[in-house]
Amino acid sequence: MDEIRILLVDDDATFCALTSDLLRKHGFIAETALNTLRAREILAQGTFDILMLDLCVPALQDGFGLLDEVRAKYPNLLVLMISGEGNISDAVHAIKNGASDFIEKPIEPEHLLVRIQNLSERIRGERQLKKLEQSAIGMVGVSDAMKKVFGQIVSAAGYDLPVLITGETGVGKELASRAVHRLSKFGGRDMVSINCASVPRDLFEAELFGYEKGAFTGAVNSYKGYFEFARNTSFFLDEISELPIDVQAKLLRVLSEGEIQRIGSKVGIADTRIISASNQDLQAAVQNGRFREALFYRLNSIRIHIPPLRQHSADIVPLAGHFINDFCQRQHTLPKEISPRAQVWLTEQKWEGNARELKNCVERAMICSQRSVLEADDFLILPGGEEADTTSEGTLRDSLRKYETHLIREHLKANGFNISQTAKQLGMDKSNLCKRIRALGISLQS
């Protein structure tokens, strides 16, 4: 539903009647309240998107008091402050206190509609972001960094221009490409994908563009290439940096002229939307002569960069929870929680393999642990029960190793080196604690 619901709170009954009629005529759902008591009742009964609030409402000293109340109870409600006696200081005060905009009486209808439309676009954009999180499977993020990525995906989906998605291995570039596709005009069709690193170099042109029967020795039948399968839909080229330099020239022609040509055939219309991805620095590849500059600029019409997981650690625990739920749905098992200590452990890891590495780690813990609440040591157990080597680079940071050693040693001392009691306090199995004591070289003497 794309309707925008507006509540107008003003003590001027005539103004309320005229303004609500104007808003309804332009497709908005509008309700009015002549005092704050009625406003509270209406807000409690239904969901609204925009609150138009007079600064001087009866039953309250001023509109700023109600503004504070609304911001606390309804944080997603956008507030447009209005006043017949407004000035610059009022506007500044309103914005600082959480209002989204400020408008002064007398209000021209056209002026009001522009302000309302601006707020409406913001609301619709946020709704699209929520749809994105639901439709783009695996794209989970609460950090500002990922919200920025989601916003870029939503924006990119509305255009037919090429999209280049960059980022390290495992950050979710293919998921982002599918999200762009799903939200685009081609969303109802399957996206065609190819990994450029998996195609033999001498077969690239034939795979992408196809060939006619008899076009070359061995061409006993006609062959349809990827571009023909991708007509009227999105075509995702992963690891685009692996595309041979000679084939890059043909791809450039597709982007610049909108034409494709089978080997041994006439020119045809491409009619596809190119989405590409790379974990390599394409600008450096251009400087080294490995990638055509003109092609880079064409592919880079819209750029989406997904940062590594270590740069938005706030998303690690939500991602881990998502991977647990996904694992349970696929394997038909009961879900497990992650203990606070394990959450700290997960957040402090480097995750060089990003979300892909985190997913593998979580699924391994789900398989190996017998507990309903996962602890930090559950994420260190390899398949078969073998203990992870905590001294190998990239497995566990030295700082965390020192912290874990100190934590276990202090609990042992406090419990008179009673391993059973210490394991209970740490939320660990006795056998796992013994393994950690041996792995960390902790002495059982005071």
Do 152 and 301 lie in one domain? The reply is: yes
* Residue 169: pLDDT over 80: yes
Examine the fold and report which residue of 96, 127, 158 is the final residue of a domain before the chain moves on.
Answer: 127
**Which tokens is 202 given?**
């001498």
Instruction: Say if CB 182 and CB 137 are below 8 A apart.
Output: no
- CATH number for position 430: 1.10.8.60
**Which tokens is 32 given?**
């009015």
Do 181 and 288 lie in one domain? The reply is: yes
Do 201 and 323 lie in one domain? The reply is: no
Do 289 and 161 lie in one domain? The reply is: yes
- CATH number for position 55: 3.40.50.2300
Contacts of residue 32, defined as CB under 8 A and 6 or more positions apart, other chains included, come to: 7, 8, 9, 10, 16, 17, 19, 20
**Which tokens is 390 given?**
């905590």
Instruction: Count CA atoms within 13 Å of residue 109 on its CB side.
Output: 11
Q: What is the pLDDT of residue 390?
A: 41
Reduced to 3 states (helix: H, G, I; strand: E, B; else coil), residue 284 is helix
Name the amino acid, one letter, at 292.
R
- CATH number for position 166: 3.40.50.300
Neighbours of 152 (CB within 10 A): 19
- Span 37-51, average pLDDT: 88
CA 311 to chain centre: 14
CA distances from 418 to 222, 357, 437 (A): 76, 36, 13
Do 183 and 249 lie in one domain? The reply is: yes
What is the span of the domain harbouring residue 424? 311-440
329-361 tens-digit pLDDT: 888 888 899 998 889 889 988 898 899 899 989
Do 379 and 422 lie in one domain? The reply is: yes
Distance CA 18, CA 22 (A): 6
Identify whether 135 is part of a domain: no
pLDDT mean across residues, the chain: 83
Greater confidence, 219 or 319? 319
DSSP for 200-253, please give it: -GGGHHHHHHEE-TTSSTT--S-EE-HHHHTTTSEEEEESGGGS-HHHHHHHHH
Instruction: Say if CB 40 and CB 7 are below 8 A apart.
Output: no
81-130 tens-digit pLDDT: 887 665 666 667 777 777 888 888 888 999 899 999 999 988 887 777 66
Examine the fold and report which residue of 305, 338, 370 is the final residue of a domain before the chain moves on.
Answer: 305
Report the candidate in 341, 339, 340, 342 with the shortest Cα–Cα distance to residue 358. Answer: 342
What contacts 24+ positions apart, CB below 8 Å, involve 144-151? Answer: 144/312, 145/307, 145/311, 145/312, 145/315, 146/312, 146/315, 149/176, 149/304, 149/305, 149/306, 149/307, 151/125
Distance CA 33, CA 407 (A): 59
Instruction: Say if CB 286 and CB 295 are below 8 A apart.
Output: no
Identify whether 133 is part of a domain: no
Q: How many folded domains does the chain comprise?
A: 3
Report the candidate in 236, 227, 246 with the shortest Cα–Cα distance to residue 291. Answer: 246
Contacts of residue 301, defined as CB under 8 A and 6 or more positions apart, other chains included, come to: 161, 162, 163, 164
CA distances from 345 to 265, 320, 350, 370, 403 (A): 59, 12, 10, 19, 10
184-208 tens-digit pLDDT: 889 889 999 999 988 888 788 888 8
Identify whether 136 is part of a domain: no
Which runs of consecutive H residues, i.e. helices, occur in 26-143? 36-45, 63-73, 88-96, 109-135
Reduced to 3 states (helix: H, G, I; strand: E, B; else coil), residue 278 is strand
Do 157 and 118 lie in one domain? The reply is: no
Examine the fold and report which residue of 102, 127, 152 is the final residue of a domain before the chain moves on.
Answer: 127
Do 291 and 360 lie in one domain? The reply is: no
Do 115 and 198 lie in one domain? The reply is: no
Do 148 and 236 lie in one domain? The reply is: yes
Identify whether 213 is part of a domain: yes
Q: Could you tell me how many helices (H) and strands (E) the chain has, helices first? A: 18, 16
Main-chain dihedrals φ then ψ at residue 217, nearest 5 degrees = -60, 125
* Residue 384: pLDDT over 70: no
Identify whether 435 is part of a domain: yes
Residue 264, phi-psi category: left (phi > 0), alpha (psi -120 to 50), beta (remainder): left
- Span 290-317, average pLDDT: 95
Q: What is the pLDDT of residue 190?
A: 93
Distance CA 183, CA 403 (A): 45
Greater confidence, 411 or 195? 195
Main-chain dihedrals φ then ψ at residue 265, nearest 5 degrees = -135, 175
Do 424 and 278 lie in one domain? The reply is: no
204-241 tens-digit pLDDT: 888 888 887 867 777 768 888 888 888 899 999 999 99
> Of 14-23, 289-298, 314-323, 406-415, which range is least confident?
406-415
Neighbours of 402 (CB within 10 A): 11
Identify whether 285 is part of a domain: yes
CA distances from 358 to 311, 313, 386 (A): 14, 12, 19
Identify whether 39 is part of a domain: yes
Do 365 and 413 lie in one domain? The reply is: yes
* Residue 56: pLDDT over 60: yes
* Residue 258: pLDDT over 80: yes
Distance CA 270, CA 79 (A): 47
Q: What is the pLDDT of residue 264?
A: 72
Identify whether 139 is part of a domain: no
